[in-house]
Homo-oligomer: A and B are copies of this chain.
Amino acid sequence: MSEDAPLSAAELEARLRRTGAERYHNLHRFHRRLHSGGSSYEEVQAWALNRYYYQSMIPIKDATVLTRLSSTEDRREWRKRIEDHDGVAAGDGGVERWLRLTDSLGFPRDYVRAAEGILPATRFAVDAYVEFCRTRTPLEAVASSLTELFSPTVIGERVSGMLAHYDFVSRETLAYFAQRPPQARRDAEWALAFCLANARTRAQQELVVRALEFKCAVLWTQLDGLWAAYVEREPPPGVWRPASWPELPREAAA
């Protein structure tokens, strides 16, 4: 396959969009439940607690990608992402807005930041994403961000769905999502153009598609963890447990 002629830019873009249509996490049962008002308060709490870890690692991921870009212009463009998430001053930035969401859901900030109660599936998936950007080619590192082609749609579904169904979330606590779509579009357009320009052989194009598949799996795996732990109430030992759940016996019967 990698000795085939390269796809045209239009064909590669279509292939990437098809990957999103087949694998992006808006298809996941947890998201359908969350967006349609089917989640309990505790499920929303768990989602936000775990999602914070992912968001808190995005600047780390983006700094890692920055280490792979040898062009000043490329780094100048990519640096905007770190600024979006870390902000320009105290109280600014996407990471901070996620903390306001977890604040509103009753979590102490120290607990959220320490990531003590998160699922191992969350940690392993997110850490795999950073490691991917550290060890794969720069093209793949950039390509792994291409889920942002699809995020404006899911953000729209999420904001309208959650505002409509959960009286415990407000437009203010969902502020991260309101700010994100124009940034995501800008980032996705740049990353797509980068990949179309730099993936010149069929083999490189396959790597771009695989990188997007990988990133879709990073997002999907996190929701799988949430479903088992908080919808089915079969959590791994040691993770956050809602106060409403029964206490565990000190030592489980072996």
Contacts and interface: CB of A to CB of B under 8 A. Distances in A.
Interface of A: 18, 20-24, 26-27, 29, 120-121, 123-125, 127-128, 131, 213, 216-218, 220-221, 224-225, 227-228, 234, 236-238, 251-252, 254
Given A228-B224, A234-B29, A237-B23, A120 B218 contact: yes
A170 to B, nearest CB: 28
Contact of A120 (B27, B125, B238): B125
Nearest to A224: B228
A236 B254 contact: no
B22 A252 contact: yes
30 contacts: A20-B254, A21-B251, A21-B252, A21-B254, A22-B237, A22-B252, A23-B237, A29-B234, A120-B125, A120-B217, A120-B218, A120-B221, A121-B121, A121-B124, A121-B224, A124-B128, A124-B218, A127-B131, A128-B128, A131-B131, A213-B238, A216-B237, A217-B238, A220-B236, A221-B225, A221-B236, A224-B224, A224-B228, A224-B236, A227-B234
Q: For the complex, would chain A's binding face be called helix, strand, loop or mixed by DSSP majority?
A: helix
A136 to B, nearest CB: 13
Nearest to A214: B120
Given A128-B128, A224-B236, A251 B218 contact: no
Contacts of A218: 120, 124
Contact of A128 (B20, B127, B252): B127
A43 to B, nearest CB: 16
A29 B232 CA distance: 12
Contact of A220 (B24, B26, B120): B120
A49 B170 CA distance: 45
A20 B253 CA distance: 11
A79 to B, nearest CB: 26
A254 B221 contact: no
Nearest to A121: B221
A29 B21 CA distance: 32
A110 to B, nearest CB: 16
Contact of A27 (B128, B217, B220, B252): B252
A1 to B, nearest CB: 14
A25 B44 CA distance: 27
B251 A236 contact: no
A216 B252 CA distance: 14
